[in-house]
Amino acid sequence: MRVIAVALPSMLLAGPLAAADLPLIPSFTEETTTAGVDSIYSGDWEYMVGGGAAVFDCSGDGFPDLFLAGGEGKAGFWRNASARGGQLRFEKTESGLELDHVTGAYPLDIDSDGIMDLVLLRVGENLVMRGEGQCRFTPANSAWGFDGGDAWSTALAATWEKGNSWPTIAIGNYIDRTQDAFPWGSCTANWLHRPNVGGTGFAPPVALEPSYCALSMLFTDWNLSGTPSLRVSNDREYYKGGQEQMWKVLPGQPPVLYTKDEGWKYLRIWGMGIASADVTGDGYPDYFLASMADNKLQTLATPLKEGEPVPGFADVAFARGATAHRPYTGGDVRPSTAWHAQFEDVNNDGWPDLFVAKGNVSDMPDFARNDPNNLMLMDDQGKFHEVGDKAGVASMAVSRGGALADLNLDGLIDLVVVNRHSPAQIWRNTTIGAGHWLGLKPVQAGANPDAVGGWVEVRTGDRVQRRELTAGGGHASGVTGWWHAGLGPVDQAEVRVIWPDGVAGDWEQVAADTLYVIDRDKGAQEWTP
Amino acid sequence: MDPSRRDVLLAGLALQVAAFLPRSARAEAERPSPEEVMATWYRLVLELVRHTPTYSPPVASRAFAYLGISVYEALAQGKAPMVSLAGQLHSLKPVPAAVDPLAECDEAVLLHSVFADAVRIFFSNTGPTGQRAMKAMTDRLGAKVAAGLSPEVVERSAAQGRAVVDHIVAWSQDDGGAVIENMGFPLDYEPSRDPGHWRPTSTIAQQQAPLLPNWGTNRPFAMPSPTACTLPPPPAYSEEKGTEFYAEALEVYETVRNLTPEQTAIARFWSDDPMLSTTPPGHWNQIALEQLEIENAPARRRAEVMARLGITVADAFIACWQSKYEYDLVRPVTYIKKVIDKTWEPLLITPPFPEYPSGHSTQSGAAARVLTAIWGNNFAFTDTSHEDDGLPSRSYPSFWAAADEAGISRLYGGIHFRSAIDRGLEQGRCVGAFAVALKMGAQA
């Protein structure tokens, strides 16, 4: 079932972009040393990619907890001990997640028991870690029939295919790590873990071939068909004959790549991270693809052909000022290397902003060594403005994964970034004068309790913000919990959820600056810690 | 591909792979020959070029030239009938003589030493994986070539190799191409806004300035000067129907709109995009390396062929870039969108620098001139360069047939006008003659 109910703000339609006022520049205060988070993503060649963060609530107190990959060293878990609106405070807690060789992690309630589980990407065997409650986790590969394989895993995306009570998990794999002298062209197969037919747990994984060294994957309903496809962003450094990919994943059928004949456009980049948001306001998700010197912001190239979207995308990064191709501060003029990317409204003006983690791969002389992270604010004309230095997040550390989430539940999006060979950093958003906001958490009974694959819609006046509820993307990093929406000056809004099965909930009036659990059966319910 | 040639190639690759067998298996393998050392290192070099952003075609051509010269000069020391290139190439002085010319020197160790040093320096911009691969190659192949030799012979041979590379590196530093910043894209360059001049053709921010605008002033190798093979101007710019310029643009437009599968295959085969292939210079290196492997050529012949080819292709890029920035001509995509059809798109990605002449054509003409001098006018061959990328091999009755196809591929791809191709090939033929005239003497 397809549900499209989108008002199109005229200022965001195609055409020349008019000048706009600079959005409110947010203020971030680094609290790395006081927040209690002490983690380094370490390791040599096999850890030059990865370095993920997972943000999710496993304690049940509503505050997002934190897991950080450690690479060659041990990963760590930090329980959120922040007071609402206060400084960020985390307590390192034994969780069962203290494992080595972890490159990234994504939260996902795999068994739909209402307790968050975690998928760990590793150099070696991947692990599904079952949440036992109170932030304790145990390996569940055997119990759930999950074949963790033995690869250099670097990407994940998950969805619940129609009719299934267990998720489908796509895992992206990188180079054959035994080929150290001639690794080029040795990309190993990506895997699609589908549920056992009619039962619990997973069937043996299917190879998603051809595979081209994936560094990010995202199940996304790019055409609003109700069935997400799998976008895969691939690292051209290592593949031969490869390109960016999008798989049709239809229930009960083998995955099939979209083709040139269908409209898919050949693109070869150093694909490292996928972020999605409806940037253009046309209701369809747009995609930022992190790369090296050549980041892409993609919108549908031909929005509709005979009433249907065509699976081809046009790059509008240059036109919209979102190229982020070179350091904007610090004096290093060489091109940038982009990794984790994520859209969030960091100043609550109602427009999605874009954070990009940056950092040299490792002694690549063609690329900047002092490569500041980007924070690009989108204005009401759809143009992006770099403010990373002014906002206080222009770290020169060698960054990889990260996460943007409201860590102290004050309505302002905070930031955590994982760095290679140096401590992870954490910033509290301390913006004065930010707009109003909402924090929304859809829940439904039965399978897929967090409504992965659904949409949250927020209506203010004639404008509807749409947000796809995804599991995957970024760079080895995943966030779940409260989905954030900035409202600008508006102090109330209407919200509804398009549930993963396509059923649209009712529009409900809600007050700004409030957290709501949107229960499929009970509707929106205000939540306080 | 001809099965017999394929077999020979596979045999050669098997020998290369043997260098990376586990320690126990390697102990049983024979010490690699000088020819195997060369083939193995060139295989790595082609990967480094492909996977290192610095290596745009001009920059790659320079690195290939210095590598080829280093190898040739190391083998040519006092080895008549080989003749040193010192005094024949601009500013190149004789390489230092061996400390003891009569002492035993092992050619495989010598070559490994030359490659290990020259590749480390001339391909230094490669990233962590390339650095790791270079180290693995240096260590493992180094151990293998040294097996069974006395430490004195190994050190003497390696030292001789290092001395040659030091000499070539010192010579290379002031040629104008030693330092590449921002991958060759100037940070402050204002393209002309006059009609007919180059304008940026992509939305990649870095490419709003053209690639290496000063490359045409570099010191050539065998060519007397960057303007030794200068070209007449392209057809006069005009947006009027019926003019020669309009007609050439219309030809590109119509050709791309009506491409046959064969024309599309040709355009893709010669596309040779930087960072997605071994680049155009690397492609011609692959062609030559394949033929040398098939004929099981001795090391000295391999060294001469690769040096001559490297020299002429590097000169070709200097000559071509001199002309490109002299004329600063607009690309077809800019003209056609403005004058003929704003919705038109070329098949290939338009390279970020002026149009006239075609770099593919100039360097292919030079390469064909040199390789024809080596293998003859009607030397039929099959090019398997892109099989790893899923492109089928292509066969040619001669090197000139391949060069002509490389040239016209750019018109099929929608990125060059015909004059740039025809005159580029002429320019390449002119450039190639200088490398052919070098006295080297190892081929006999």
The C-alpha angle A408, A411, A414, rounded to 5 degrees, equals 55
**Quick one: how far is CA A510 from the chain centroid?**
26
β-pairing verdict for A53-56 and A478-479: parallel
- pLDDT of A197: 85
Low-confidence ranges of chain A (pLDDT < 50): 1-18
Residue A83: how many other CB atoms lie within 10 Å: 13
β-pairing verdict for A508-511 and A425-429: unpaired
Residue pairs between chains A and B whose CB atoms are closer than 8 Å: 91
Residue A119 near residue A106, CB atoms below 8 Å:
yes
User: What is the 3-state secondary structure of B136-193?
Assistant: HHHHHHHHHHHCCCCHHHHHHHHHHHHHHHHHHHHHHCCCCCCCCCHHHCCCCCCCCC
- The nearest CA of chain A is from the CA of B396 a distance in Å of 23
Say yes or no for a CB contact (<8 Å) between B129 and A183: yes
Burial of B260 (0-12, 13-18, 19+ CB in 10 A): exposed
Which residues partner with B220 through β-bridges?
none
Is B131 within 8 Å of chain A by CB? yes
- The nearest CA of chain B is from the CA of A389 a distance in Å of 20
d(CA B241, CA B340): 10
Cα dist. A254→A155, A191, A250, A271 in Å? 20, 12, 7, 25
Is A331 within 8 Å of chain B by CB? no
- pLDDT of B78: 74
Task: For residue B442, name the pLDDT band (cuts at 50, 70, 90).
Answer: low
- The nearest CA of chain A is from the CA of B413 a distance in Å of 15
- The nearest CA of chain A is from the CA of B54 a distance in Å of 6
Point out the residue among B44, B182, B390 whose CB comes nearest to the CB of A334: B182
Nearest residue of chain B to residue A44 (CA atoms): B128
Residue ranges of the domains in chain B? Answer: 3-172, 187-436
Task: For residue B27, name the pLDDT band (cuts at 50, 70, 90).
Answer: very low
Is A326 within 8 Å of chain B by CB? yes
- The nearest CA of chain B is from the CA of A61 a distance in Å of 43
- Which pLDDT tens digit goes with each residue over B177-191? 999 988 999 999 999
Is B261 within 8 Å of chain A by CB? no
Residue A69 near residue A101, CB atoms below 8 Å:
no
Closest among A338, A515, A348 to A433, alpha carbons compared: A348
Question: What six digits make up the tokens of B121?
Answer: 């320096």
- pLDDT of A303: 67
Q: Does domain B3-172 have CATH number 1.10.606.20?
A: yes
The phi, psi pair for B140, rounded to 5°, reads: -75, -45
Task: For residue B443, name the pLDDT band (cuts at 50, 70, 90).
Answer: low
Residue B144 near residue B32, CB atoms below 8 Å:
yes
Nearest residue of chain B to residue A184 (CA atoms): B47
For residue B179, list chain A residues with Cβ-Cβ distance below 8 A. none
Listing DSSP states for B106-138 in one string gives -HHHHHHHHHHHHHHHHTTT--HHHHHHHHHHH
Question: What six digits make up the tokens of B49?
Answer: 């070029």
- Which pLDDT tens digit goes with each residue over A56-82? 999 999 999 999 999 999 999 999 999
Residue A329 near residue A394, CB atoms below 8 Å:
yes
Is A266 within 8 Å of chain B by CB? no
Point out the residue among B133, B275, B389 whose CB comes nearest to the CB of A240: B389
Nearest residue of chain A to residue B140 (CA atoms): A181
Where are any strands of DSSP class E within A53-101? 53-56, 65-68, 76-80, 90-92
Point out the residue among B47, B276, B389 whose CB comes nearest to the CB of A182: B47
Say yes or no for a CB contact (<8 Å) between A293 and B44: no
Is A269 within 8 Å of chain B by CB? no
The secondary structure of residue A22, as a DSSP letter, is P
Which residues partner with A175 through β-bridges?
A187
- Does the fold of domain B187-436 match that of domain B3-172? yes
Say yes or no for a CB contact (<8 Å) between A325 and B44: no
H/E stretch holding B12 reads helix B3-18
A interface mutation test: which of B41, B189, B204, B268 has the most A CBs within 10 A? B204
Point out the residue among A183, A333, A367 whose CB comes nearest to the CB of B187: A333
Average pLDDT over residues B47-75: 96
Point out the residue among B53, B133, B187 whose CB comes nearest to the CB of A182: B133
Tell me what percent of chain A is helix, strand and coil, each rounded to the nearest 5: 5, 40, 55
Say yes or no for a CB contact (<8 Å) between B47 and A184: yes
- The nearest CA of chain B is from the CA of A386 a distance in Å of 15
**Residue B25 in this model has a pLDDT that exceeds 70:** no
Q: Please report the sign of the dihedral spanned by the C-alpha atoms of residue A262, residue A263, residue A268, residue A269.
A: negative
ipTM, two decimals, is 0.84
- Which pLDDT tens digit goes with each residue over A320-379? 999 999 999 999 989 999 999 999 999 999 999 999 999 999 889 899 999 999 999 999
Q: Which residue has the tokens 């200097």?
A: B318
d(CA B403, CA B398): 9
- The nearest CA of chain B is from the CA of A411 a distance in Å of 35
Is A177 within 8 Å of chain B by CB? no
- Which pLDDT tens digit goes with each residue over B395-406? 999 999 999 999
Nearest residue of chain B to residue A316 (CA atoms): B203
Is B52 within 8 Å of chain A by CB? yes
- pLDDT of B132: 92
For residue A293, list chain B residues with Cβ-Cβ distance below 8 A. 53, 183, 204, 206
For chain B, give the mean pLDDT: 92
For residue B44, list chain A residues with Cβ-Cβ distance below 8 A. 181-182
Nearest residue of chain A to residue B125 (CA atoms): A365
For residue A333, list chain B residues with Cβ-Cβ distance below 8 A. 181-182, 187
- The nearest CA of chain B is from the CA of A44 a distance in Å of 9
**Residue B421 in this model has a pLDDT that exceeds 80:** yes
Is A46 within 8 Å of chain B by CB? no
Mapped onto helix, strand or coil, the DSSP state of residue B418 is helix
For residue A326, list chain B residues with Cβ-Cβ distance below 8 A. 205-206
- pLDDT of A198: 76
- pLDDT of B11: 42
Say yes or no for a CB contact (<8 Å) between B54 and A366: yes
Residues in CB range of B39: below 8 A, 6 or more apart: B12, B15, B16, B289, B293
Residue A23 near residue A379, CB atoms below 8 Å:
yes
Is B14 within 8 Å of chain A by CB? no
Helix axes B151-172, B57-76, angle to 10 degrees: 140
Q: Please report the sign of the dihedral spanned by the C-alpha atoms of residue B32, residue B37, residue B39, residue B45.
A: positive
- The nearest CA of chain A is from the CA of B78 a distance in Å of 34
Q: Kindly give the residue spans of alpha helices, DSSP state H, lying in A137-231.
A: 141-144
For residue B137, list chain A residues with Cβ-Cβ distance below 8 A. 181
Task: For residue B29, name the pLDDT band (cuts at 50, 70, 90).
Answer: low
Nearest residue of chain A to residue B51 (CA atoms): A237
Please identify among residues 175-204 of chain B the ones whose CB lies closer than 8 Å to any CB of chain A.
181-183, 187, 203-204
Residue A413 near residue A344, CB atoms below 8 Å:
yes
**Residue B282 in this model has a pLDDT that exceeds 60:** yes
B interface mutation test: which of A184, A268, A420 has the most B CBs within 10 A? A184
Q: In what order do the strands lie in the sheet with A478-479?
A: A90-92, A76-80, A65-68, A53-56, A478-479
- pLDDT of B444: 41
Is A340 within 8 Å of chain B by CB? no
Is B348 within 8 Å of chain A by CB? no
The share of chain B scoring above pLDDT 70, in percent, equals 93
Q: Does domain B187-436 have CATH number 1.10.606.20?
A: yes
Average pLDDT over residues B80-102: 89
